[in-house]
Amino acid sequence: MRHFDRDSAEAILVPLLAVLGAMLVGMILIFTITGYDPFAAYTSLIRGAVGSPTSIGATLLRSTPIIFTGLSVMIAFRAGLFNIGGTGQAVMGLLCGGTVGVYFHGLPGASHWILALVAAAIGGGLWGALAGFLKVARGANEVVVTIMLNYVAIRFGEYLLRLKGPLQEQGSSVPASASFADNARLPVFWRPDPFTEVNVGIIVALLVAGLMWFIVNRTSLGFQIRAVGLQPDAAEYGGMSVTKVTVIGMFMAGALSGLGGAVATLGELERMQKSELGVIQIGFAGIAVALLGRNTAVGCVFAGLLLGALDSGAVGIQKDNALPAGVATKLIGVIQGLIVLFVGADLVFRRLSNRIVDLFGGAEQPAGKTAT
């Protein structure tokens, strides 16, 4: 423990303490409001998250889209932007990817779903770039703009998929598109049970996370993004274009969220459904993922897996009736929000983290630093 330095301890301990704190508040809520046994509820949660191959498969499925939206929020953050528009970008992504999945025919093998994902990335990316453009060209606040774009995207998608809407299956009485072509659906590589099919989405997510790590840390574009995010005036003075970086950063953010929407749809559904659009929560979950992952690509993967586990754990709670019907998913929403709050207001946890490092004999200070 002697070589345990304060910064890397903080990077692990602060998110961990935030999650524990949020879970603790969750227990208090369960006990005081519902009167149910919080320990029984959390036992069901853990069983539902990692208790069996089926649960682990469900956790991987739930994690995949939010790893993408987490990376989306992360890359925007790095460029100094706050992307609350993940939901709208995901909707645009799933509409573009889904359209390729439904209307393109005869594409061989993997080329179809890969093309669908590329279309999703472009669709989501353009939707994100629009927010970036409005910010730099018109001075529009990106927080409000991305939220408005969320609502517009959802309503637009609902219009396309409504009865007699342009993308709705002709002659069907269901507000949904026709089925995706077989090749457009993401290939399944693991079936823990006949009803759980884990598709390659999670592998794509890991590859994209690696790519994001590379772009941020090892390329000139990544350097520009980080420079603009930290010191826009200095970056401009150093010859970089804040305008260009902002639009590209928001394009990348939108593309990542678009992929998140598309993997959820092409991976788990047969078709695009109108009812699916209004309940997409992955944009906000992405904020929790990015913050919990301390705005790094690798952190987003772990945070996405953790929050995905919470999500599938909620299903476990429902199955065991460990909480009143429907309450578990709301509780997970509260816990996500608390995690965001605790990571955001991490001053108190940073002090706690330092205290823990001291306890484990990390009291040795690098020269020039003083203990807090």
| Residues within the interface to another protein (CB under 8 A) | 29, 33-34, 82, 84, 134, 138-141, 143-145, 147-149, 151-152, 155-156, 158-159, 162, 164-165, 284, 287-288, 291, 324-327, 330-338, 340-341, 343-348
Q: How far is the CB of 208 from another protein (least distance, A)?
A: 24
With beta carbons less than 8 A apart as the criterion, state whether 263 and 68 touch.
yes
- 370 Cβ neighbours under 8 A, 6+ residues apart: none
Q: How far is the CB of 346 from another protein (least distance, A)?
A: 8
* Between 155 and 218, CB nearer to another protein: 155
Q: How far is the CB of 168 from another protein (least distance, A)?
A: 12
Residue holding tokens 């009143």?
Answer: 324
* Between 17 and 145, CB nearer to another protein: 145
Q: How far is the CB of 225 from another protein (least distance, A)?
A: 19
Q: How far is the CB of 199 from another protein (least distance, A)?
A: 28
Residue holding tokens 């093309």?
Answer: 115
C-alpha 44 chain-centroid distance: 24
* Between 84 and 247, CB nearer to another protein: 84
Name the phi and psi angles at 245, rounded to 5: -65, -40
* Between 184 and 287, CB nearer to another protein: 287
Interstrand relation of 188-193 and 196-199 (parallel, antiparallel or unpaired): antiparallel
The 8 Å CB, 24+ separation contacts for 217-226 are: 221/248, 225/75, 225/78, 225/79, 225/249, 226/78
* Between 53 and 333, CB nearer to another protein: 333
> What are the helix and strand counts (H, E) for the chain?
15, 2
Q: How far is the CB of 18 from another protein (least distance, A)?
A: 11
Strand, coil or helix: what is 295? coil
* Between 255 and 310, CB nearer to another protein: 310
Q: Which two tokens stand for residue 178?
A: 């026709």
With beta carbons less than 8 A apart as the criterion, state whether 244 and 132 touch.
no
Name the phi and psi angles at 189, rounded to 5: -115, -5
With beta carbons less than 8 A apart as the criterion, state whether 60 and 317 touch.
no
How far apart, in whole angstroms, are the C-alpha atoms of residue 294 and residue 296? Answer: 6
Q: Residue 340: which H helix or E strand, with range?
A: helix 327-344
Q: How far is the CB of 172 from another protein (least distance, A)?
A: 17
* Between 57 and 88, CB nearer to another protein: 88
